[in-house]
Amino acid sequence: MLTIKGITKIFNEGTVNENIALSNFSLTLEEGDFVTVIGGNGAGKSTLLNCVAGVYGVNQGSILIGEKDVTKLPEYKRADVIGRVFQDPMKGTAADMGIEENLALAYRRGKIRGLGWGISNKERQIYKNYLSHLDLGLEDRLSDKVGLLSGGQRQALTLLMATLKKPRLLLLDEHTAALDPKTAEKVLKLSDQFVKEGNLTTMMVTHNMRHAIEHGNRLIMMHEGKVILDIKGKEKKDLTVENLLKRFGQASGEEFANDRALLS
């Protein structure tokens, strides 16, 4: 479903600030794979998601979604097959628009532009039904502005919007990092549910090692723009944070350095 072949991303190439963020990076995900991505400070996790989403072009290598080579496609042309949820709950939804209007934008993606035709009662019913899955009472607040919602409610709504049209690829970019622990667990549970129901191919960057171990069917650890650990199946289920840190040390020859990971 996702084939990343030998991509290299260099920032400020040819200057004193040259920085190789991804170095001949390869990864293949099968349909329905849910991979968690962890790594130390500056390992290249965000750059990887940005390259896959088309925010950044790559210097070398190729990216295929399904059979389609998207390497040269700009972000907006990949957007119809990619759903993305960011760390910042303010991104991904329009604060000044109502909950139902936000959902309508996501629901009509790729069909008609804008909301010129209003929202029919039939559509409203569909949105209520979707929202009831979040179990946050939002189905009774359809016309409330999204800006009134809490960070967790907003992130749950963003998640729903990102998965509504069954994207071929779901990118979760530290999407629970700004939430309190209880809300983060709730949004993670919803993420698992949506991924499972839609059999969505998913990449989740997290700085929380426990989350990386407990979610998904595969875990990769990055270091200096490369994959240094790739753990699947039973081996992943048996992982502990302690064991993961030890394996990082063995694979990289360094101590794990990610301030946020070690604090969480």
Alpha carbons 179 and 40: distance in angstroms, whole number: 21
To ligand ATP, the closest distance from the beta carbon of 127 in angstroms equals 34
Count the Cβ atoms, other than its own, within 10 Å of residue 263.
8
- Letters for 220-259 (x = contact with ligand ATP by CB under 6 A, - = none) are --------------------------------------x-
To ligand ATP, the closest distance from the beta carbon of 263 in angstroms equals 12
Q: Which is nearer to ligand ATP, 17 or 121 (CB)?
A: 17
DSSP state of 145: B
Please give the helix or strand (H or E) that residue 25 lies within, else none: strand 19-29
Give yes or no for residue 107 binding ligand ATP (CB under 6 A).
no
User: At residue 247, what is the residue type?
Assistant: R
Residue from 24, 26, 28, 41 that binds ligand ATP (CB under 6 A)? 41
Count the Cβ atoms, other than its own, within 10 Å of residue 83.
27
Give yes or no for residue 54 binding ligand ATP (CB under 6 A).
no
Question: For ligand ATP, which stretch binds (CB under 6 A), given 42-50, 177-185, 235-243, 246-254?
Answer: 42-50
Task: Give SS3 for 182.
Answer: helix
Decide the pairing of beta strands 218-223 and 34-39. Answer: parallel
Q: How far is CA 241 from CA 13, 49, 250, in A?
A: 36, 24, 14
Question: For ligand ATP, which stretch binds (CB under 6 A), given 45-53, 192-200, 237-245, 249-257?
Answer: 45-53
Cβ pair 200, 194 in contact under 8 A: yes
Q: Which is nearer to ligand ATP, 11 or 107 (CB)?
A: 11
Question: For ligand ATP, which stretch binds (CB under 6 A), given 41-49, 114-122, 130-138, 233-241?
Answer: 41-49
Q: Which of 169, 141, 172, 170 is nearest to 155 (CA)?
A: 172
Give yes or no for residue 264 binding ligand ATP (CB under 6 A).
no
Give yes or no for residue 208 binding ligand ATP (CB under 6 A).
no
To ligand ATP, the closest distance from the beta carbon of 173 in angstroms equals 9
Q: Which of 22, 67, 24, 73 is nearest to 48 (CA)?
A: 22
Q: Which residues bind ligand ATP (CB under 6 A)?
A: 11-12, 19, 21, 39, 41-47, 207, 258
